């Protein structure tokens, strides 16, 4: 089945130790997103790619970086994780709906990051 895959599902890292979260998709969608979601809050968009075009949200800290080496893969790098970066990280893709003018978004299962 076509899908959005995130690895690992659970990640524990130490304060200040760089960590990379991975996302891959078999949907061949040209848009990919990274969201941060803290407990009982809405997902917060960090950045998104339209093909190779990178779009950073204005309030995304410099500590967060992303790479998209090809259509299928997208990575989230946290250079120096702080305790406040502990959260669920959701990867999503989107495509333009057939016969419509809006996009439909597909989410991966998320990676729950713990910072010790």
Instruction: Kindly list the residues in this chain that would bind other proteins in the complex (CB under 8 A).
Output: 31, 33, 37, 40-43, 45, 48, 50, 88, 90, 92, 94, 96-97, 100-110, 112
Q: Among 85, 67, 74, which residue's Cα sits nearest to residue 13? A: 85
Closer residue to other proteins (CB): 12 or 97: 97
CA distances from 71 to 11, 12, 74, 102 (A): 24, 27, 8, 21
- Minimum Å distance from CB 90 to other proteins? 6
Closer residue to other proteins (CB): 15 or 103: 103
Closer residue to other proteins (CB): 46 or 80: 46
Distance, in Å, from the CA atom of 38 to the CA atom of 84, rounded to the nearest integer, reads 9
């Amino acid at each position: 089945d076509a899908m959005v895959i995130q690895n690992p599902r659970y990640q524990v890292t130490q304060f200040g130790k760089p960590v990379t979260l991975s996302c891959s998709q078999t949907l061949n969608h040209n848009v990919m997103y990274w969201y941060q979601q803290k407990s009982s809050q809405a997902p917060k968009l960090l950045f998104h790619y339209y093909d190779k075009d990178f779009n950073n949200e204005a309030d995304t800290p410099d500590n967060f970086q992303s790479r998209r080496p090809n259509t299928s893969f997208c990575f989230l790098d946290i250079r120096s994780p702080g305790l406040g970066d502990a959260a669920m990280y959701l990867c999503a893709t989107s495509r333009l709906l057939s016969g419509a003018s809006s996009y439909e978004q597909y989410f991966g299962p998320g990676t729950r990051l713990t910072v010790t």
